[in-house]
Amino acid sequence: MPFKDHAQELRFQHLTHQLRCPMCQNETLADSNAPIARDLRNQIFQMMQQGKSDEEIKQYLVARYSGFVLYDPPLTARTWLLWFGPLLILLAGAGVVLVAIRRRGRAGSTTITETPTDNGDDW
């Protein structure tokens, strides 16, 4: 693509790395070889030539393809579980392990251990 200068090329690369290919599940627009990714890269380039800001380009793509197109979705009420879910699962697992360890510790200390009396009748 015929960029005006190196700064515009870097901006384009940065933008295409922030956006996800709608067809590919886990690839950025920069990495994808899908036809729709190629079309979106061309569209981003044209929008940059028209003087649109990065936010305007992102808003246009989100309006058209939903928030899925953002590779790192923003923290909103709809995405808080996506951001904090793994941490909550980890904390819940640590809590379960801690409770299990405490129960075992209490069960071991409350059992009465009887010492066998040796009356010599073993033989």
**118 in any annotated domain:** no
Question: pLDDT averaged over the chain?
Answer: 86
Q: Give the residues across from 28 on adjacent strands.
A: 20
Residue 44 falls within a domain, yes or no?
yes
pLDDT at position 113 over 60: no
Structural domain including 57 reads 6-69
Cα 69 to Cα 25: distance, rounded to the nearest angstrom: 10
Phi/psi at 97 (nearest 5 deg)?
A: -65, -45
In this prediction, residue 73 carries a pLDDT of 72
Whether residue 20 contacts residue 28, with contact meaning beta carbons closer than 8 Å, is answered with yes
Q: Are residues 39 and 86 in the same domain?
A: no
Could you write out the three-class secondary structure of 4-62?
CCHHHHHHHHHHHHHEECCCCCCCECCCCCCHHHHHHHHHHHHHHHCCCCHHHHHHHHH
Tens of pLDDT, residue by residue over 24-43, are: 878 999 999 999 999 999 99
What pLDDT sits at residue 115?
Answer: 61
Where a domain ends, among 39, 69, 99?
69
- The enclosing domain of 25 has a CATH number of 1.10.8.640
Is the Cα torsion angle 59, 12, 51, 45 positive or negative in sign? negative
pTM for the structure as a whole: 0.62
Domains contained in the chain, number: 2
